[in-house]
Amino acid sequence: MANELVIERIFDAPVETVWKYWTEPEFFKKWWGPQGFTCPTANIDFRVSGKYHVAMHGPQGTEWDKDLWSTGTYKEIIPHEKIVVTDSFADEKGNVVPSTYYGMQNFPLETTVETTFEDLGGKTKMTLHYPSTEGISEQDLTNMTGGWNQSFDKLAESLKDL
């Protein structure tokens, strides 16, 4: 649908494991960020009204060779089924900042991200959904989609290590 972003992936791991990679910092750090990016910090208070504050660090020697922080608040959690969270760019202290803080076009200050998990008998269908992408340019949507898919490629690789 217009003004939405939806990405579906099937992972070769049980839903409980994929869930853990979204909700526990030591697992989250293994996959967060596109190819070439690392996740040096992941603070996750995984409960409704809890907050997350995470950093991804870009490849050395590039314009992204710095920590890029994001933050949000968990709005809905249905264990092993659904996570709804707000998402915003942030500074290192967790304060919401505009995307221009990182030299990017002006994104909305806050978006909502819904992630659902479906048990496929030892595999997991995961769907990432931004119900509204209003205010995000076509180019930025393309970049977001690519970044998420690269992160999910890293998630799939991390799940193979189990």
| Tens-digit pLDDT profile for residues 13-33 | 999 999 999 999 999 999 999
In order, the DSSP letters of the chain are -TT-EEEEEEESS-HHHHHHHHHSHHHHTTT-SSTT-EEEEEEE--STT-EEEEEEEPPTTSTT-SEEEEEEEEEEEETTTEEEEEEEEE-TTS-B--GGGGT-----S-EEEEEEEEE-SSSEEEEEEES--TT--HHHHHHHHHHHHHHHHHHHHHHHT-
- Residues paired with residue 73 on neighbouring β-strands, in sequence order: 51
What CATH topology corresponds to 5-160?
A: Alpha-D-Glucose-1,6-Bisphosphate; Chain A, domain 4 (3.30.530)
Average pLDDT, integer, range 119-126: 97
Quote the crossing angle between the two packed helices 15-23 and 138-160, to the nearest 10°.
Answer: 120
* 21: nearest Cα among 37, 39, 35, 4: 39
Query: Where along the chain do its domains lie?
Result: 5-160
* Token digits of residue 2: 């217009």
Mean pLDDT of the chain: 95
127 pLDDT above the threshold of 80: yes
Nearest alpha carbon to residue 87 among 72, 74, 100, 77: 72
Average pLDDT over residues 110-136: 95
| pLDDT tens per residue across span 98-122 | 999 998 887 899 999 999 999 999 9
pLDDT at 2: 60
